[in-house]
Amino acid sequence: MPKAKKQIEDDFLPQHGRKAHQQMKAYLVLDYLMKHTDEQHHTTPYEIAAYLSDYGIEAQYKSVKSDIDEINYVLYMMEQGCSIDVAIEDLNSGEYEEEKIIQCTENRREYFMNRRLHDITEDDARLLAETVYSAPFLDEKKAKRLVGIASTLVSNHAAERIKHDIPILDRPRTTNTRVYNNVSLINEAMHTGTKAAPHSPEKITFRYQKYCIDNVEKTVDRRGGSLYKVSPYKLLIDEGNYYLRAFDDRSQSMRTYRVDRMKNVSLTGEPRDGEEFYDEADMKTFPRRVFGMWVGERVKVTLLFDNCLLDAAIERLGRRGLEYEIYDEDHFTVSPEVELSDQFFAWLCRFRKLVKILAPEAVAEDFKQYLEDIRSLY
């Protein structure tokens, strides 16, 4: 059972003699305030002292108050980029009371974190947590761990609200628990190092997975388990999945791979190839040109949209470098560069009769054949 408040106060009356582990005290005071307080939840120096005692650290009421003052001085100094003397002078003047990260209540008996370090709000932490849970390339265990880390940026009270409020969606999620390790190894392979310790980007090998109808709970190796050897150039996220853009030794071309489908990723030590095929500037427009990460012939197409699809067109095709022009009272046109694929045609099918390919004629004919192939099944 927790101690009564009066008993806590009696336990932390002034003591004499050298106290142990005093170097840790200020850090633990800040840790307690960050975890247990915010504008709606306050604490007293006695309660903080009780927390310190759990770590074998004896503390007095006045020493905890002194620690709080010193923490405020240091945090103000770091935020303002001033000296500690200026920080002490400013905060003791009374003119910068609102700048204190740790505030005291009107009765000056209780304290709380006025704002979080790095100015993280509860809404910020909730957004981070929801983004983590919406990423299908994270397995369930990793997602929960990252949400836990995001929750440490706010008080325990706010963290409980965040964990309670996050919508848990029943969506497919990777079962590959080594995605993080894959990303780390790929970044290591692409790393150019520093002046003191240069590193030449190198090739990687891996086995690539696919599902098998015999047992959809498990994946099997593509190419009969033979190794893929590629020169990695760019990691990117599209529609919730992690992808690697790399130069493939076997096809001698740039290819795209799902990182969560890679296993046994290893560094080879062999110098990276394919630099003449990779264009960093071109990669900036890659996500909006490519649909479903399927790469095809790069073509400029002119599309006629119904006006009601302006938002949908901008969100998928972007605005930079494109002209959205009025066609008539009910329609507009836009001419993006796209990589032709069935996935691009499938995207157009979402809008049924509200979009039309105006040019080039060859692409319109390919689309008609795509639709005819589907129609022929029924």
Per-residue model confidence as pLDDT tens digits over 264-279: 999 999 999 999 999 8
Q: How far apart are CA 79 and CA 127, in angstroms?
A: 25
Q: What is the mean pLDDT of residues 306-328?
A: 91
Rg (CA), the chain: 29
Q: Give me the DSSP letters along 168-235.
A: ---------TTHHHHHHHHHHHH--B-SSSB---EEEEEEEEEEETTEEEEEEEGGGGPPEEEEEEEE
Confidence check: pLDDT of 300 > 90: yes
The secondary element (H helix, E strand) that includes residue 75 is helix 61-80
Structural domain boundaries in the chain:
5-115, 119-165, 179-278, 298-375
- What residue ranges in the chain does DSSP mark as E strands? 102-104, 111-113, 202-212, 215-221, 228-238, 241-248, 253-258, 262-271, 298-300, 302-306, 325-328, 331-334, 337-339, 355-359
Prior bond of 2 cis (ω within 30°): no
Q: What is the mean pLDDT of residues 324-349?
A: 94
CA 208 to chain centre: 25
Per-residue model confidence as pLDDT tens digits over 115-159: 766 667 777 777 777 777 767 777 777 777 777 777 777 778 877
Reported CATH class of domain 298-375: alpha beta
List the single range of 99-108, 169-178, 254-263, 291-300 with lowest mean pLDDT: 169-178
DSSP state of 129: H
Predicted pLDDT at 200? 92
Confidence band of 336 (pLDDT split at 50, 70, 90): very high
Contact by Cβ (8 Å): 154, 120: yes
Confidence band of 17 (pLDDT split at 50, 70, 90): very low
Predicted pLDDT at 357? 97
Q: What is the mean pLDDT of residues 50-78?
A: 89
